[in-house]
Chains A and B, each alone.
Chain A
């Protein structure tokens, strides 16, 4: 067996590129080139008065001491630490429930809970925005009925309200990833567990959870990346809550405002790159921890 492999490796040393080539070509165009250009931009500064000049790492120094950037970063980190576990936990519970075979109509649940993923973020945010209305929306109905005064877009609740929208959008998607991983657990494991007389809970902790460890890691990484890049939902909700969703609410929103409202492309590129590096480092660390436990 090994002999054949060695021979084929040498023979195939460039054939792979025929397949990977097209993808990588476009990838270079839409990812690598812009990243390169972004790095280039971050080393310059353009002023309304004075034009463009090379400033080296000044933009990066500015980003390090930029209170707006770090408060935005703190905000998405907080978001991350609260929303991601909640969402993944619910997704896990639902996946386990559906997999347990003890539900009535599990096919319905599988589909119903997954449906929100098919809804564009724009539509989801518009819908929830309507429902969050404190004057005439659903929230106002609830407030009137229970004599409350909840303001979902007020300063104390706005991050949670956005978290709610994101959770709503992705819990089904994550649930499905977990469920699919559960589906391929070999039957033999369950059989031996039954022989050993293991209860339902023990089956979950000893068989199911370890089996989906990989899926859990992947879901966590993608959720982390998604949280750091939070943009769509705050951006679309902004007109409804300009005072609480500031232009520097999340790092991505900050970079966007810098580019388009302030025409500060260079600094925006810097912010985005710093954010990208932080995200990559954290994602890498999570991945290491996730795979270490094998």
Chain B
């Protein structure tokens, strides 16, 4: 017995020692982040010297970028790893940072998750390397998303998701539904459509944090405000309340299909007309083409319905950037890759493969705007998307812990979709739980 205890004690002691050495994962040393003391010259020097980079990204279009980059700069070796999509990627990056090893040099981070990493100082400010001069290169939505309204630049946008209304023209025509110009009209159209054919729904919705925040964004709401460590969460502000009250009938009157999005059934429903429209980001065409090929030619794209008649407001939904983790040993070289992928030749190959550009120049190019989408019956859908990109409501921001908040969206607001809880109450529950988390994490939350 004693020997056993001795062994166990030794093992535990060893582990404790190891843990203590490894250090508190939050020794957030404010080491001079690259904001000061670095310059574009460092990037050129790094390129000349060469080296190797690890890139964690799930976006398919980066495969060719990596290949071409290595061809252009033969003394740089780039390894592209798909460490998971979205949440899984963020978990992996955060775990690597906590463990202090295996941190990639470049990480793909969606716009909504960027504040969380920026706040924790997990990603570097790449302004000094030349990024601060790129404001006019990018469209307003993405640029704001990577600068977070400050002078620092936390990543370079690689795509964007200005919203539009994708709809199945064949279904709409069959039931004589006009393309709605406002959300009030949309709800009316939903009723008419579902009455005409109870098996058809105007859209599918089972509660999605990204969709909800984008809708509130378009409605002019600004539920999330951050100033330093002061956070305000108000999911009952004008925009949020407008969304909640307008969208409530869709749920109560069962006008939305409760098919989980991105599932096999969902793609099938889009293909066979069960789900007749989708308000979502400009990156959707690729997914429709591969997932719901049977409906090719039947869909069209229209501007997003408006909250105010005659308005033009739009919002972004999704979209990602490439960022450089603070713990990378090769930040200058990493920035070179970022620039190549987001600003230089890299973006051209990606746009060709279907990424929706975040750059002002590409959005304005005639051949881009004139692209005819076979899936949309030859429609020049990019014109609609480009217009939407320009009309994105400014001033939106996400929480510094949006990743967590989104993860509990369905636990809280999701209740509105499966019980008699109203959407407004669901949003309040989401607000409360997010606020609780924020306070626990040391923020001052109002």
Direct touch of chains A and B (CB < 8 A): yes
- B82 sits at the interface (CB 8 A): no
Across the interface, name the chain B residue whose C-beta is closest to A34: B15
Interface string of A258-279 (1 = CB under 8 A from B): 0011111100000000000000
Stretch from A47-55, A73-81, A108-116, A198-206 forming part of the interface with B? A47-55
For residue A85, CB closer than 8 A to chain B, the reply is no
Check if A135 is an interface residue, CB within 8 A of chain B: yes
Residue of A whose beta carbon sits closest to that of B260: A240
Q: Which residue of B lies closest to A37 (CB)?
A: B15
Given contacts A37-B19, A243-B206, A262-B404, contact A47 B437 (CB under 8 A): no
The answer to whether A292 has its CB under 8 Å from any CB of chain B is no
B290 within 8 A of A: no
A28 touches B8 (CB 8 A): yes
B401 to chain A, nearest CB (A): 7
Is B133 interfacial (CB-CB < 8 Å)?
no
A136 touches B268 (CB 8 A): yes
B441 CB to closest chain A CB (Å) equals 4
Q: Mark B396-439, 1 if CB is under 8 A from A, else 0.
A: 00001101100110110011011100000000000000000100
Is A246 interfacial (CB 8 A cutoff)?
Answer: yes
User: Are B404 and A241 in contact (CB-based, < 8 A)?
Assistant: no
B7 within 8 A of A: yes
Q: Does A130 contact B (CB under 8 A)?
A: yes
Bound together, the chains give a CA A262 to CA B268 distance in angstroms of 34
Given the contacts A239-B263, A242-B410, A52 and B443 also touching, CB distance less than 8 Å: no
Q: Is B344 an interface residue (CB 8 A)?
A: no
A33/B11 in contact, CB under 8 A: yes
Contact A242 B206 (CB under 8 A): yes
A66 → chain B closest CB, angstroms:
11
B27 at the interface (CB under 8 A from A): yes
**A window 28-57: CB within 8 A of B:** 28-29, 32-34, 36-37, 40, 46-52
Q: Which residue from B26, B87, B440 sits with its C-beta under 8 Å from A52?
A: B26
Q: Do residues B401 and A48 form an inter-chain contact, with CB atoms below 8 A?
A: yes
**Contact A247 to B407, CB < 8 A, known contacts A240-B260, A242-B414:** yes
Q: State whether the Cβ of B16 lies closer than 8 Å to any Cβ in chain A.
A: yes
- Verify B28–A51 contact, CB threshold 8 A: yes
Residues in A with CB closer than 8 Å to B401 are: 48
Interchain CA distance A155-B403 in the complex, whole Å: 25
Say yes or no: is B295 at the interface (Cβ < 8 Å to chain A).
no
Do A243 and B229 have beta carbons less than 8 Å apart? no
Q: In the bound complex, what is the Cα–Cα distance between A32 and B410 (angstroms)?
A: 36
- The smallest C-beta distance from A246 to any residue of chain B, in angstroms, reads 4
A46 and B25 contacting across the interface, CB-CB below 8 Å: yes
Residue A210 lies at the interface, judged by CB distance under 8 Å to chain B: no
Query: Residue-by-residue, is A19-33 near B (CB-CB < 8 Å gives 1, otherwise 0)?
Result: 000001000110011
Residues of A within 8 A of B265 (CB): 133, 135-137
Tell me if B157 is interfacial: C-beta within 8 Å of chain A: no
Q: A48-B120, A49-B443 are in contact. Are A263 and B94 (CB under 8 A)?
A: yes
* A19 → B minimal CB distance (Å): 15
What residue of chain A has the Cβ atom nearest to residue B13's Cβ?
A36
Other-chain residue from B24, B25, B415 in contact with A243 (beta carbon distance below 8 A): B415
Chain B residues with CB under 8 Å of A240's CB are 260, 263
Given contacts A155-B418, A243-B415, contact A261 B229 (CB under 8 A): no
Residue of B whose beta carbon sits closest to that of A151: B258
Q: How far is the CA of A24 from the CA of B269 in the complex (A)?
A: 54
Interface string of B11-39 (1 = CB under 8 A from A): 11011100100001111100000000000
| Cβ contact within 8 Å between A262 and B16 | no
Q: Is the CB of B410 within 8 A of A28?
A: no
A36-B16, A261-B403 given. 8 additional CB < 8 A pairs? A28-B11, A36-B11, A47-B441, A52-B24, A52-B26, A155-B419, A243-B207, A243-B410
Chain A residues packing against B (C-beta within 8 Å) = 24, 28-29, 32-34, 36-37, 40, 46-52, 130, 133, 135-137, 154-155, 239-244, 246-248, 257, 260-265
22 contacting pairs across A/B (C-beta < 8 A): A32-B8, A36-B12, A37-B15, A37-B16, A40-B15, A46-B25, A46-B26, A47-B440, A48-B119, A48-B400, A50-B26, A52-B26, A136-B265, A242-B260, A242-B410, A243-B415, A246-B414, A260-B91, A261-B91, A261-B407, A262-B404, A263-B404
